[in-house]
Structure 1
Amino acid sequence: MVLDGEIISSPSVNVPCGGSIRDTTDITGSFTLTEAKDLSVLIEGGALPLPVEVIEQRVVGPTLGKAAIDASWQAGLIGLLLTGLFIAGVYWFVGLLAALALTSYALLAYAMLVGLGSTLTLPGLAGFVLAIGLAIDANVLVFERAREEYAANPSAGLRRALTIGFNKAWSAIIDSNVTTLLAAALLFILGSGPIKGFGVTLSIGVVASMISALVIARVLTEIGVSNRWVEQRPGFSGIGSVGRVRLWLERRDPDLMSRRALWLAVSGAALVFAVSGIVSQGLNLGVEFTGGRVLEYSTTTPISADRAREVVSEVGYPEATVQESDDDKITVRTGQISDDEAIKIETAIGDAAGGATKERDEKIGASLGTELRDKALIALGIALLVQMVYLAFRFKWTFGVAAVLAMFHDVVIVTGVFAWLGKPIDGIFLAAALTIVGLSVNDTVVVFDRVRERWQGSRPEQTFNRLANKAAVETMPRTVNTGLGAMFILAALAVLGGDSLRDFAIALLLGLIIGTYSSVFTATPLVTYFQERWPMSRAAKVPRTSEPRDSGAVI
């Protein structure tokens, strides 16, 4: 019995002369139970009809992996500390308690990861770090609502205002986190390798952050504001005033929607700039999408990218892309080459730099690259479609279309900026793009939730444009505070995360800034135009009830 050219068994078979084996036969010998089972599996498996071809191979040097992991943990700890200091600085006592609750996030997330038996990858660490920034959003939403309620009814007390704040913020919190989980699910279903890991850890991070923000933080803050000393000092509590930014906005009362055509024109100009970059510069597709090989070396003495490019060209690879990283490493990206050809490149760089050590070697077949590229486009399309369907269900189809157009606007602009800068469009960028979709819709949902609340039950003389404008202005403090909280995390990743995470953090920083802009200045103006053609009813879909001591007021 021969399997792939190797004899796996040579049993003695006793049959009549000229006869053949029929039905069954026995193989006997001094086998152990394990050996007998292994032989059975080999015989049942049969010969492979086609040769095996390696379509993806990744080799990462231990020093590179350790450095990246250390940098990610440092970024996470520093980002967590900065986020905690920020929320405590803005919301004082309740902010401090929320920051303490936020520290439980790491323990919860790690326990979930161990429970699922998941492998922690570098993008997975990024997912955890990013979820820290998202965790602050729920607390900001609750505290801003609690501030409004206390300002409208201070005699009800701090704890009552905080409880109502949690209740009123619940709808926006659920919608924004469901949309983020939808994006994470698409990463897991349609991604590959490390991208799946990012989807898993982002999902775990979102769930852990919600437990931290809505359970642990709620218990701590409600107990904290129930203290008699804190009750007598509402300013110290952090929810005794709507805040300076909110008061300034109320005094100025900007009419943003009166210039909605201008804001949409600015968005259109940004899209033209992005698309022109994509068309004129082209997309620097990573090896995941094109197939080929990526080699990264650390050198004994620093060598410039130009010099490395010259020596690589001299050994026969003038078309190779050679780049120099900030930590004096040389990266070479080529088409499909053999191991012997890779050794020639390593030798050439080593001779020019006094020695070279291979830190990373990624080999991806062209067929896999095409498959991953197609999956990336499908993932983005499905992400936009799923978000639109969900928002249409939760709000109205016009809101869903406006949100999806804003999300598309955000992703295209970030892609265009990367095209102009010549940065790689790879699997990590795909993770960033789908995360941008989640961040963008997260902001948009908060604004839309307030628009719906303002509109439903409003008086006939109140126009939709005016109420939408008021909703956008009211949610600005939350948008700014949440954005700054997430920026601390992403800035820490960009500075400390190394080359492997820097482009990821840059993409998310761009997406966060552009998404914050588009939720107010793109999505909301679009909804006002859609409202004129396809109006949303003033009546709520589901009757809403107020608690006995809830003033129901919204400042």
Structure 2
Amino acid sequence: MQNKGLIKLFAILFGLVSLYQLSFTWFTNGVEDKAKTYAESKSDEGKEIARLERVYLDSVANKPVIDLGFAKFSYNDIKDKELNLGLDLKGGINAILQVSVKDILIGLSNESKNPVFNEALAKATEAQRSSDRRFLDLFFDAFEETSAGTVKLSDPSIFGNKSLREKINFKLTDEEVLPIIEAEVTGSVNTAFEVLRSRIDKFGVTQPNIQRIGNSGRILIELPGAKDIDRVKKLLQSTAELQFWEVYSNQETANFFFQANSVVENLLKVETEVDTTSTKDNLEDLLGEVSDSLATKPTNNLFSVFSPSIPQNQNQISSVIGTAKVADTSKVNSYLAMKEVRGLLSNEMKYAKFLWDAKPFTNTVASTGENVELIYLYGIKSNREDIAPIEGDVIDDASQEYGQTGKPEVSMTMNASGSRLWGKMTTENVGQFVAVVLDDYVYTAPSVNTPITTGRTSISGGSMTVEEAQDIANVLKAGKLPAAAHIIQSEVVGPSLGQKAIDSSMSSFALALLLVLLWMVFYYGKAGGFADVALLVNLLFIFGILTAFGAVLTLPGIAGIILTIGMSVDANVIIFERIKEELNKGKGLKASIEHGFSFKGALSAIIDANITTMLTGVILYVFGTGPVKGFAYTLMVGIVTSLFTAIFITRLLIDWYAGKGKLFTFNTNITKNWFKRIDIEFLKKRKIAYVISGLVIIIGLGSLFTNGLNYGVDFVGGRSYVVKFENPTSATEVANTLKDAFGSAPEVKTYGEASQLKITTKYKIEEEGNHIDDEVQDLLYTGLTSYLPEGLSMDEFKPGFDGTKTAGIMSSIKVEPTIADDIKTAAGWAIIGSLLVVFLYILFRFRKWQYSLGAVAAVFHDVLIVLAIFSLFYKILPFDMEIGQSFIAAILTVVGYSLNDTVVIFDRIREFAGIHTTWKFSEVVDRALSSTLGRTINTSLTTLVVLTAIFLFGGDSIKGFMFALIVGVVVGTYSSLFIASPLMYDTVKKLDEKKK
């Protein structure tokens, strides 16, 4: 081997760099362990541990943790450089947001009332439910169909309006308008991306990830370690539409509410007749006894769900016009929206709109001691156009500060135009009320004592927290979203489940590695020890690269690394087997080593096998998202590093030892005669193999058509929750209990432990908004109350709870049907793409299409059998066997492994065909298969040991993934011997017969 010195230098430098990168993770963990110890010592019964940890870490954030003399690193410095852990290892949230192109189009049209335009929007919205095309394309098609040439997009009532007049005039055709609108939509999506990125950068989560997904209007956001999930969702989906309005006082609305109550009561009498009682209607209800009155009122009028604020004197005049239970707000909204009720408003109030406070408060019912969540209502002085006198674009800066009372507030500074408008509004409303409204929620509605001409104001609230004030300031500084963005896919993993995944994956990883290291020494003796050293160096390189490039390590990523361990071992096995062959022929040690590491020896097969696996990794990376992409990345990195270490590091060690002139046998006394003199006639057994495979595939296809597959929410849409209980819980009982809550029984099954269930429902999955997510969690919490520990609150039940979690939601996944269809489509293309790419590569390398056909047919055979196994046994086996994105990653890994095996055998067939030109082709194939059998079994057993270790001792969420890999390795080994090579032989033989 030439350039040994250069390779040594490179390996040493690369190793040092990797150690340097990983040292930041080591020191970060040390600081965080100290923070945890501090928090546990100061916490009360394990509560608020996370908050106390943050307090400790904040206190050392900028203090030197590492002092090298010439450089110092604080905790914040090393935290940014540590190894990134994915959601499944750290907890947090992964979400895909869809920026509403529909809302962008409505905004560009100035909220057009044109019936053709709105009908086209409705058709496009409906079409998108079953299409993977862009909303914009669907809208253009729907508009063309609906208008039938009668109305143009450039019409002044659509896009030919004042705001777009510099770009669109009424003379433009639809074809000319299309690219202009497309550019406007693209610009709005780009703006949304920048706004969201700015918000996330200020959110305080370390190592966030945000990226656009093509030109679909979708944005991927990953926030590992985020624990306050509700806060995150609010931050991501808040449009940040800030408005300043004049407000009606409770004195001005009092008469309207009495009239509205009578009207509502008369309207409801048609449906039901019940006794009525009078309503307490003074301000004391609002501030103290309101929860009692709401708890005892009849249910046939407005006042049964709403308590108006009626002032008895001047001191009781307020901007709060009433109070309701949070659970009754939708009913109050529906009553106040009745046309008969709206008709009661005077001419001065006919454009009034009613908005709720931004934050509810809790009050105690004196008679029962029950805590009730209540919320204030405000009356906004709107106008025909519903345009606020002052909007958020006048804000120059916003920050979280502390008010005169010492409570958190948001301080805002306006530009010159805003200062003038704000001064005018406050001057005209001295002694009255003005409201600061953000995203249609009232944050404050104070009385104006004096005009404010400085352009400064604040948002405050009695119960506003520091975090809430920071978030509001954040979204105001980042700017408002040009259109609503809602979460169409999300995965939430609680920190407790993340820690459990780390513990189980690390233990299984250590066990798998130990077994491999011991096996290599047992089978190959000293050479196996050198291969072990190369393997450990390989792991150092992998983790060093992942850390240096900021890659995210996930559970599937760890599986990818474990798979590369098997591939690294495979490379050394191929090399050692070739060296042993040369030694058995009587060649000298140095000549045998030289041949084993040469292109004519093992190198050709190793490179071909690794390239085919690399190609499947690339396909996975292109089409995958989240954990699948992480798996593909670690797989590709592992292939590169394993090639380097197996070929160069092992060679350096072997050359060094061989140079000492000591005995070197590449086996042990126990294994030296294993797989020698094997001569199996594989081709004579091919018809039996065809029959066996055919029967299994036919049975599998029958099961696929009748029993189907257990599709996860990735592919069908829905919400899935992993819920932990204190004691073993019956899945059937829970399903029946939740049937009434969700209208139909959700799918419930045991997930790992007997006290842990996976609950999947499609309840309202097509409806958008945070309130739907909250409603589903509320129904789940209420339905499971009898199974949960007494006193477990809703906050503790949710997945982001900061404390030590003994029960509640450990993780949740939500996928809307539209993106589920897209995921299925991408998965299909990933499989087809990988098969096509591999077919072409093998054709390029072996120059015969029969080799490509044999390899791809064997892979197709393997995929069908894995699918058949999952179809036949998903109702029987005691672990999760869902078909989702991780399963597709497993299938493509099986594709890569099977190809790896097949290519090594094909390479030997090609070699024997070139050397033994007088042999029959059947003899060439049989001898090639026999000569590689030792390597095939050795590699397969090593890989199976690794996979079985992580299957048995890894986390529950990865068992189905690992089972697919185990089945794939077994089937892939079988197909390489009995399907790929025989099929290739049969097609070559038939072609030769035709030529004769």
TM range (shorter): 0.7 to 0.9
TM-superposition CA deviations, 1:348-371 (whole Å, max 9, x none)? 224224364110011111111110
Larger RCO: 1 or 2 (CA < 8 Å, sep 6+): 1
The amino acid that maps onto 1:385 is: L
The amino acid that maps onto 1:401 is: L
**Pairs within 5 Å for 1:302-321:** 302-321=728-747
Local SS of the residue matching 1:246: coil
Instruction: Judge conservation of contact 2:720–2:758 (CA < 8 Å) in 1.
Output: yes
Structure 2 residue 551 is the aligned partner of structure 1 residue 118: yes
Give, in whole Å, the separation in 1 of the partners of 2:677 and 2:671: 10
**Offset of residue 342 of structure 1:** 2.1
Task: Determine which of 630, 633, 651 is the counterpart of 1:197.
Answer: 630
**Pairs within 5 Å for 1:424-503:** 424-460=882-918, 462-503=919-960
Give, in whole Å, the separation in 2 of the partners of 1:227 and 1:424: 55
Structure 2 residue 706 is the aligned partner of structure 1 residue 280: yes
The answer for the alignment partner of 2:758 in structure 1 is: 331
The amino acid that maps onto 2:710 is: N
Structure 2 residue 506 is the aligned partner of structure 1 residue 73: yes
The amino acid that maps onto 1:247 is: K
The answer for the alignment partner of 1:21 in structure 2 is: none
The amino acid that maps onto 2:534 is: A
Give, in whole Å, the separation in 1 of the partners of 2:558 and 2:728: 30
Instruction: Judge conservation of contact 2:523–2:671 (CA < 8 Å) in 1.
Output: no
**Pairs within 5 Å for 1:284-433:** 284-327=710-753, 328-335=755-762, 336=765, 338-354=773-789, 356-395=807-846, 396-422=848-874, 423-433=881-891
The answer for the alignment partner of 2:594 in structure 1 is: 163
Give, in whole Å, the separation in 2 of the partners of 1:535 and 1:455: 15
Give, in whole Å, the separation in 2 of the partners of 1:479 and 1:400: 20
The answer for the alignment partner of 2:356 in structure 1 is: none
333-342 or 493-502, which moves further after superposition?
Answer: 333-342
Runs (5+) with no aligned partner, structure 1? 15-27, 31-37, 537-555
Instruction: Judge conservation of contact 2:720–2:812 (CA < 8 Å) in 1.
Output: yes
Give, in whole Å, the separation in 2 of the partners of 1:440 and 1:277: 24
Cα distance, 1:487–1:13 mapped onto 2, change above 3 Å:
closer
Cα distance, 1:9–1:341 mapped onto 2, change above 3 Å:
closer
- CA-based RMSD: 2.5
The amino acid that maps onto 1:390 is: Y
Local SS of the residue matching 1:370: helix
Give, in whole Å, the separation in 2 of the partners of 1:106 and 1:282: 40
Structure 2 residue 987 is the aligned partner of structure 1 residue 530: yes
- Write 1 or 2 for the structure with the bigger share of strand: 2
**Offset of residue 195 of structure 1:** 0.7
The amino acid that maps onto 1:433 is: I
Cα distance, 1:280–1:3 mapped onto 2, change above 3 Å:
closer
The answer for the alignment partner of 1:140 in structure 2 is: 573
Cα distance, 1:472–1:320 mapped onto 2, change above 3 Å:
same
The answer for the alignment partner of 1:513 in structure 2 is: 970
Give, in whole Å, the separation in 1 of the partners of 2:991 and 2:604: 24
The answer for the alignment partner of 2:655 in structure 1 is: 222
**Offset of residue 57 of structure 1:** 1.5
511-520 or 340-349, which moves further after superposition?
Answer: 340-349
Local SS of the residue matching 1:323: strand
Give, in whole Å, the separation in 2 of the partners of 1:496 and 1:412: 28
The amino acid that maps onto 1:514 is: V
Shift >6 Å, 4+ stretches: 38-41, 239-242
The answer for the alignment partner of 2:111 in structure 1 is: none
Local SS of the residue matching 1:57: strand
Aligned length: 502
Percent of aligned positions with the same letter in both sequences?
Answer: 33
Give, in whole Å, the separation in 2 of the partners of 1:272 and 1:415: 12
Runs (5+) with no aligned partner, structure 2? 1-162, 164-238, 244-390, 395-414, 419-453, 457-474, 766-771, 793-806, 875-880
Give, in whole Å, the separation in 2 of the partners of 1:223 and 1:482: 26
Cα distance, 1:173–1:240 mapped onto 2, change above 3 Å:
farther
Cα distance, 1:29–1:534 mapped onto 2, change above 3 Å:
farther
Local SS of the residue matching 2:553: coil
Cα distance, 1:425–1:431 mapped onto 2, change above 3 Å:
same
TM-superposition CA deviations, 1:180-201 (whole Å, max 9, x none)? 1111111110011111111101
TM-superposition CA deviations, 1:370-425 (whole Å, max 9, x none)? 10000001100011111100000001211011100100100111011111112211
The amino acid that maps onto 1:166 is: F
The amino acid that maps onto 1:441 is: L
Structure 2 residue 245 is the aligned partner of structure 1 residue 245: no
Q: Name the TM-score, length of structure 1 as normaliser.
A: 0.86
215-224 or 105-114, which moves further after superposition?
Answer: 215-224
297-306 or 488-497, which moves further after superposition?
Answer: 297-306
Give, in whole Å, the separation in 2 of the partners of 1:339 and 1:3: 21
The answer for the alignment partner of 1:176 in structure 2 is: 609
The amino acid that maps onto 1:322 is: V
The amino acid that maps onto 1:333 is: T
Local SS of the residue matching 1:311: helix
**Offset of residue 241 of structure 1:** 11
Give, in whole Å, the separation in 1 of the partners of 2:732 and 2:660: 66
